[in-house]
Structure 1
Amino acid sequence: MRIALLQMTSGIDPLANAAVLSDAVAEAAAGGAAMLFTPEMSGLVDRDRVRAAASITDEASDPVLAAMRAAAAEHRLWVQLGSLAIRRPDGRLANRGFVIGPDGAVRARYDKLHLFDVALPTGERWQESAAYAPGETAVVADTPVGPLGLSICYDLRFPDLYRALSDAGAEVLAVPAAFTRPTGAAHWHLLLRARAVEAAAFVVAAAQTGVHEDGRTTYGHSLVVDPWGEVLLDMSEAPGLGFADLDPAVLADVRARLPVLRHRRAIPPVERVG
């Protein structure tokens, strides 16, 4: 099953980002992909929260989501829209990913569970929880590439989520991201390969890359990893579209030879001694 990944450098104008995304749908369909995967915050990357607020709407009014639904329907393509900033009814924001079907309908939604509140050695500080509310539900969606477990960026550091997704039947794990350069260089490949091996699943990670209009820099290196931990695609740092083929026979072979999912046990209480 062929998939496409968009690696992009999203800016502060949602309509400009929507044009890039719509072009990617057309290109992915022309390239024979069954599904397109896009990065976290595909529609808007802007750390100036006052300026960004003017561009963030509720789901029904979001122009990027509308454009992607129209493009998916026009080209009869499934799309995993990595995430958008969406205003919730309570006024807080959600970092929300979508699965869009080839009819343009939203088939699944996922709000990022783990929020990026960190201080990096470079001096970068991020406080996602200052504006965003965490999600409350893990999601597996049926797609043509198999049952797809949804996650977003910082979720990658929490293996319990991926255990829950694979226990619920996920065979492919989506990890759209906007990883910083320092954390990406240190941990991106390591963590994605570990999640693939632990879950005996394909991992598809479409990423933001390069220097953005708001001044931040992201790591790139959109990856596809197979259930044995082999990297099938590494897009390095240039924006653009990449393709990879997911072979269900590889998944079946790995799970038969190393049946870690069947060997999982509930963890008993920890006894601390000494």
Structure 2
Amino acid sequence: MKIACIQLSSGENYENNFKDIVKYVNQAIKNKSDLIITPETSSLMSSSREILFKYSFEMNKDPILKKIREVSKKYKKWILLGSICVKVKNKLRNRSILVGPNGKIVKYYDKINMFDVKIPNKEQHRESKTFKAGNKLITANLPWGKIGFTICFDLRFPELYRSLSKKNLSFIAVPSAFTKFTGQKHWLTLLRARAIENFCYIFAPAQTGKNTPKRETFGHTAIISPDGKILALKKLGKGVIYSKINPKLSMDLRKIIPSLI
């Protein structure tokens, strides 16, 4: 099984973000990837409610999702849009959407844990002002095993991952947009911890660079094995990383070290 994780630098220009998503998804397809994953808020990054609402759509009307469904069907690929901003009534959802090789939506997950933080003398974010939190754990069956869905700040809640791992997962997706400040301190450590604790592959595509005047993201897109090994890593800049993995390893490790209770 070949995994592709895309690193983007999405900003407030929806059209440019659209072009980058299509560009790197097509690149991953040419490299014969089985599963392709984009980062959190691939479609748009902004601290402005006005801009977020202007360039967000109902799920069945989203231009980026429509394009991904077309590409997925044409090339018979599994593609996970790490997340896009989706309009649901008067609120937005930070939504991760899995598209199957027939171009149909298989499952979607709304981010549960909102990024509401205040770092003294650094930055503050209040995701819950604009987005409505989800409340359901979501998994999906792939041809190679079961995958669980999480998004970015969810990474700091180990109980969520343990609840997912009890569903016999082999993989967990963590599309993210970690800030540069918090990413430098914790990103790779948390990814490896979640992989080891749950004996799951972690697929973590990330945002990178100066996305908006008020937001700089850490990058460091990573693919982590169930024993915590970093299989592929892209520190900075836009692009794609790849790794061939053995889905059976997750279950093998659980038999050797029966720590999931």
TM-score category (smaller protein): over 0.9
Cα deviation, residue 250, structure 1: 2.6
From the superposition, tell whether residues 214 and 58 of structure 1 become closer, same or farther in structure 2 (CA, over 3 Å): farther
Q: Any residues of structure 2 matched to 1:218-257 within 5 Å, and which?
A: 218-257=217-256
Higher mean alpha-carbon deviation, 55-64 vs 221-230, is at 55-64
Letter of the aligned partner of 1:106 in structure 2?
A: I
Q: Is the radius of gyration larger for structure 1 or structure 2?
A: 1
Higher mean alpha-carbon deviation, 61-70 vs 147-156, is at 61-70
Higher mean alpha-carbon deviation, 105-114 vs 20-29, is at 20-29
Q: Any residues of structure 2 matched to 1:65-76 within 5 Å, and which?
A: 65-76=65-76
Corresponding residue of 1:78:
78
* Contact 2:9/2:237, CA 8 A, preserved across alignment: no
Partners of 2:53 and 2:250 in 1: how far apart? 43
Corresponding residue of 2:209:
210
Corresponding residue of 1:130:
129
Letter of the aligned partner of 1:33 in structure 2?
A: S
Corresponding residue of 2:192:
193
* Contact 1:14/1:64, CA 8 A, preserved across alignment: no
* Contact 1:47/1:214, CA 8 A, preserved across alignment: no
Cα deviation, residue 20, structure 1: 1.5
* Contact 1:72/1:104, CA 8 A, preserved across alignment: yes
After superposition, the CA RMSD in angstroms is 1.3
* Contact 1:25/1:77, CA 8 A, preserved across alignment: no
Partners of 1:124 and 1:215 in 2: how far apart? 8
**Deviating runs (4+, > 3 A) in structure 1?**
none
Partners of 1:105 and 1:118 in 2: how far apart? 36
Partners of 2:76 and 2:183 in 1: how far apart? 34
Question: Of Structure 1 and Structure 2, which has the larger fraction of its residues in strand?
Answer: 2
Partners of 1:243 and 1:80 in 2: how far apart? 15
Asked if residue 51 in structure 1 is aligned to residue 81 in structure 2, the reply is no
Letter of the aligned partner of 1:204 in structure 2?
A: F
Letter of the aligned partner of 1:37 in structure 2?
A: I
Cα deviation, residue 248, structure 1: 2.4
Cα deviation, residue 167, structure 1: 0.5
The number of residues matched between the two structures is: 261
Cα deviation, residue 215, structure 1: 4.1
* Contact 1:152/1:174, CA 8 A, preserved across alignment: yes
| 3-state DSSP of counterpart to 2:177 | coil
Percent identity reads: 35
* Contact 1:35/1:145, CA 8 A, preserved across alignment: no
* Contact 2:170/2:251, CA 8 A, preserved across alignment: no
Partners of 2:42 and 2:17 in 1: how far apart? 7
Partners of 2:15 and 2:168 in 1: how far apart? 36
Partners of 1:7 and 1:152 in 2: how far apart? 15
5+ residue gaps, structure 2: none
Partners of 1:111 and 1:216 in 2: how far apart? 22
Partners of 1:228 and 1:201 in 2: how far apart? 8
